[in-house]
Chains A and B, each alone.
Chain A
Amino acid sequence: GENVEQHPSTLSVQEGDSAVIKCTYSDSASNYFPWYKQELGKRPQLIIDIRSNVGEKKDQRIAVTLNKTAKHFSLHITETQPEDSAVYFCAASYMNYGGSQGNLIFGKGTKLSVKP
């Protein structure tokens, strides 16, 4: 089955700096890669996602890149702000044989701290 590795487990940056979180996946059939942000005591919230036919996607200060050959994808946050402090999860999903949706398999998370 699919396995997703996420690094680093903790990341501390100064406000205004950039933050990068990296994930690797094992199943070359995976074709959908979302990123979730989870604030303390809250539910995971989708912040950006990318599909396997796209190499990069941006949404304001957030971007995700995908390298299918190397089977890794990354989250980039520019001009970080204190409200970006949270736990970030990457995930991978694939289309099952028969065409039904695959399951989301998550990395173990990265705790991002943005210091004012």
Chain B
Amino acid sequence: NAGVTQTPKFQVLKTGQSMTLQCAQDMNHEYMSWYRQDPGMGLRLIHYSVGAGITDQGEVPNGYNVSRSTTEDFPLRLLSAAPSQTSVYFCASSQRQQGARAFFGQGTRLTVV
């Protein structure tokens, strides 16, 4: 049971490039989300999904797209990377119920130069 798996672990992009951060979970969790973590800012919600085919915006969605075609996968796309998107990105998943515990992936450290 791998839990929540993110790839890649590290990535350097040039301004304007696009890329997709991958997130997969094998716990059959309906709820998945993406956070970014910046020094002194805690974890801020980018996008989330309550099930396959359903996504919605979080606190800081600008510059990011998501899709949810399967229960297992929830990729995060940066269409045109900017230096302000330099951050550590975490994917999380949980059951879709009141007070469900969330489990995080190992994170992706992204640097945009």
Interface majority SS on A: helix, strand, loop or mixed?
Answer: strand
| Contact among A44, A93, A106 for B99, CB-based, below 8 A | A93
| Complex Cα gap A51–B99 (Å) | 7
Per-residue CB contact flags for chain B residues 19-45 toward chain A (1 = under 8 Å, else 0) read: 000000000000101010000111111
**B42 in complex: contacting residue of A1, A34, A43, A107, CB < 8 Å:** A107
**What's the Cα separation between A93 and B104 when bound, in Å?**
16
| Cβ contact of A32, chosen from B59, B98, B105, B106, cutoff 8 A | B98
Q: Which chain B positions have C-beta within 8 A of A45?
A: 104
Bound CA span A61–B88, Å: 30
Q: B11 to nearest A CB, angstroms? A: 16
Chain A, Cβ-Cβ closest to B92: A104
Nearest-CB residue, chain A, relative to B43: A106
- Interface size class, chain B: 20 to 34
Q: Which residue of A lies closest to B6 (CB)?
A: A43
Please give the number of chain A residues whose Cβ is less than 8 angstroms from any Cβ of chain B in the complex. 26
Per-residue contact bits, chain B 34-73, to A (CB 8 Å; 1 contact, 0 not): 0100001111110010100000001100000000000000
Contact of A89 among B42, B92, B97, B107 (CB under 8 A): B42
Please measure, in the bound complex, the distance between the C-alpha atom of A11 and the C-alpha atom of B110, giving whole angstroms.
Answer: 29
Interface residues of A in 27-66 (CB under 8 A from B): 31-32, 34, 42-46, 49, 51
List 7 A–B pairs whose Cβ atoms lie within 8 Å, in order of A's numbering.
A43-B104, A101-B50, A103-B48, A103-B58, A104-B33, A104-B92, A108-B40
A interface list, Cβ under 8 A from B: 1, 6, 9, 31-32, 34, 42-46, 49, 51, 89, 91, 93, 95, 100-101, 103-109
